[in-house]
Structure 1
């Protein structure tokens, strides 16, 4: 597929996806969704990939749905927004969560609507100080989608989630980091170098261990303590037989840097 709404790059185990409609603040269209789906399928199928970086081009990360991409006005037949969730936003969130390696989201500017919740489907979120998060759905008579009603209360608690969802106030990147919505907020000039450093770290990390860590932490929300301990047992048994574990122990004993292969 030829990409017109996104940029895709793969180099030295690091995949990079950039939402690339800067004149529209990288807002979503059906075409962009199809391109993202194709790119994520390619990334998941490529065994050389050990980390994904997701970001936006220009001055914004993503302004959510491009409302001009789906006609809706008084007197016009209603748009089935549930169909949009089924076809596009739901599969996008689930695809990001299912990737068997770390996913870093670099929020380089405003993140609104679906664009505010998409980063929360990623594993590590780093935002520039000038960035902000806006749950703009309430201004259109909608609910926070793209996993928003799932992520927000789990990350922030009910009170803060409800305030953001029902008031639509802008949340600065610094406040988002203080509240625990994202991992880190950095100066705008440092965002690219900070993300590159983290991407290189994960590209050299024990990838299978990272994948099982993701699954275990995300599974804990629905598991009892007993179920979670059983999951830990199963994953530790599996990882204990990996070549990366043997390399890690050997490197520790030999007092050298490990050379993980992601296996």
Structure 2
């Protein structure tokens, strides 16, 4: 798609997507974000891919808005400055939405700074692992005379770590290192930098071993639970998802046989 976005297949059914603009700490220039969005959308439709890992090249995960060389926004000919601003925000919002809507679980391998919009990209992933000593997180808008709320951050961060911590981090503009991020639940784990991708691949391979509809519906239910207006409504959705997998696959029977035979299950669906 672009030299700024690399795609590899490091393990069967696992795709690695790398933001590849290390000289700018993988900042969110539009000539990076457009192919990144389109690459994610393509992988979501790739039925051979069961898990997607996202990381950054070089020392950074993503340093947020590129204030020096933002690139050209597509489709803005004839528009005024105000409308161009709306189109640019809409495009970046769409990147976050695309990450969240992918069929496959997305693991963010946060190898370095995740600043501003980079923090938002990490939060839009389903699972986050961070490189100890190298990764840190910052809600940078407040430091730049803007709001810290952008690209879903004021929605996603409180749901990840709780409201009080989110308020403090977003209003102070301070850095959160990998150790603190693990402690407060911003990431699942902090691991040694040299082992970051391998840890993500091991987790991905475990997920690949489960049934496709089971994994996809679990992801949907988890996100739906964050949006749910009531426990009762959400439990209805969970029940329908569970019934769908139970009645349309033979996964439960296979899992039962596998346990009896002392072997891993082999899910056909």
**Structure 1 gap ranges (5+):** 72-76
User: Secondary structure of the residue that 2:31 maps to in structure 1?
Assistant: helix
Q: Counterpart in 2 of 1:233?
A: 239
- Contact preservation (8 Å) 1:101, 1:208: no
Q: Which runs of 5+ in 2 are unaligned?
A: 72-80
- Counterpart of 2:173 in structure 1 is 168
**Shift, 1:81, TM fit:** 4.0
Contact map agreement 2:99 2:125 (CA 8 A) in 1:
yes
Contact 2:5 2:17 in 1 (8 A): yes
Partner residue in 1 for 2:75: none
Please tell me whether residue 188 in structure 1 is matched to residue 193 in structure 2. yes
> Which stretch shows the higher mean deviation, 107-116 or 246-255?
246-255
Report the Cα offset of residue 69 of structure 1: 2.9
1:217-250, Cα deviation, whole Å (9 max, x unpaired)? 2112323111111111101110102243332222
Q: Report deviation, 1:79.
A: 8.3
Aligned-pair CA distance for 1:210: 1.4
**Aligned to 1:101, which of 100, 104, 125?**
104
Tell me which residue corresponds to 2:13. 13
The answer to whether structure 1 residue 137 and structure 2 residue 141 are counterparts is yes
1:7 touches 1:19 (CA, 8 Å); kept in 2?
A: yes
Return 101-110 or 206-215, whichever deviates more.
206-215
Choose 16-25 or 192-201, whichever is displaced more: 192-201
- Farther off after superposition, 21-30 or 242-251: 242-251
- Deviation digits for residues 180-230 of structure 1 (CA, Å, limit 9, x no counterpart): 111111122221221121122222222211111111121123231111111
Aligned residues: 255
Please say if 1:59 is aligned against 2:62: no
TM-score (norm 2): 0.89
Matches within 5 A, 1:75-90: 80-87=84-91, 89-90=92-93
Aligned partners of 2:26 and 2:60 also within 8 Å? yes
Report the Cα distance in structure 2 between the residues aligned to 1:243 and 1:65, rounded to whole angstroms. Answer: 47
Aligned to 2:46: 46
1:68 is paired with a residue of what secondary structure?
coil
* SS of the residue 2:176 aligns to: strand
Q: Secondary structure at the match of 1:60?
A: coil
What TM-score, normalized by structure 1, do the two folds share? 0.91
Q: Secondary structure at the match of 2:253?
A: helix
| Residue pairs, 1:191-210, within 5 angstroms | 191-210=196-215
Native 8 Å contact 2:41 2:102 kept in 1? no
Mapping for residues 16-35 of structure 1, pairs under 5 Å = 16-35=16-35
Contact 1:111 1:133 in 2 (8 A): yes
Q: Is the 8 A contact 1:100 1:208 kept in 2?
A: no
Identify if the C-alpha distance between structure 1 residues 26 and 125 changes in structure 2 by more than 3 Å, giving closer, same or farther.
same
Q: CA RMSD in A?
A: 1.8
Query: How big is each residue's C-alpha offset from its partner over 1:139-192, in whole Å with a ceiling of 9 and x where there is no partner?
Result: 222233121111111222222212211211010011011011111111222212
